[in-house]
């Protein structure tokens, strides 16, 4: 290799090193955040469903108590 080829190779290696360093400084893609949001939404939906089931149970209980009072009267 002559001096020019060595200099070109060194320049290329330096550019590749800079590219690697630049890549390290970039934040990771937001895939994790998107997944977290999806999980958060799922948890909220499950909590909402739990509240709906509890409300249905309370409504049935109130209806049963109403029927029981009617039967006593």
Average pLDDT of span 24-50: 79
Range of the domain at 7: 3-72
Spatial separation of the C-alpha atoms in residues 71 and 25, rounded to whole Å:
75
Spatial separation of the C-alpha atoms in residues 38 and 31, rounded to whole Å:
11
Quote the pLDDT of residue 28. 65
Enumerate residues 6+ apart whose C-beta is below 8 A from 1.
Answer: 9
Residue 31 pLDDT level (bands cut at 50, 70, 90): low
What does the pLDDT look like over 1-28, one tens digit per residue?
Answer: 678 887 788 888 887 777 767 767 777 6
SS3 string, 6-49, reads HHHHHHHHHHHHHHHHHHHHCCCCCHHHHHHHHHHHHHHHHHHH
Total domains present in the chain = 1
DSSP label at 73? Answer: -
């Amino acid at each position: 290799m002559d001096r020019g080829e060595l200099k070109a190779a060194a320049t290329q290696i330096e550019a590749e090193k800079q590219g690697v360093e630049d890549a390290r400084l970039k934040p990771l893609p937001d895939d994790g955040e998107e997944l977290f949001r999806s999980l958060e939404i799922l948890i909220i939906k499950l909590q909402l469903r739990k509240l709906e089931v509890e409300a249905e149970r309370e409504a049935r209980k109130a209806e049963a108590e109403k029927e029981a009072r009617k039967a006593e009267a």
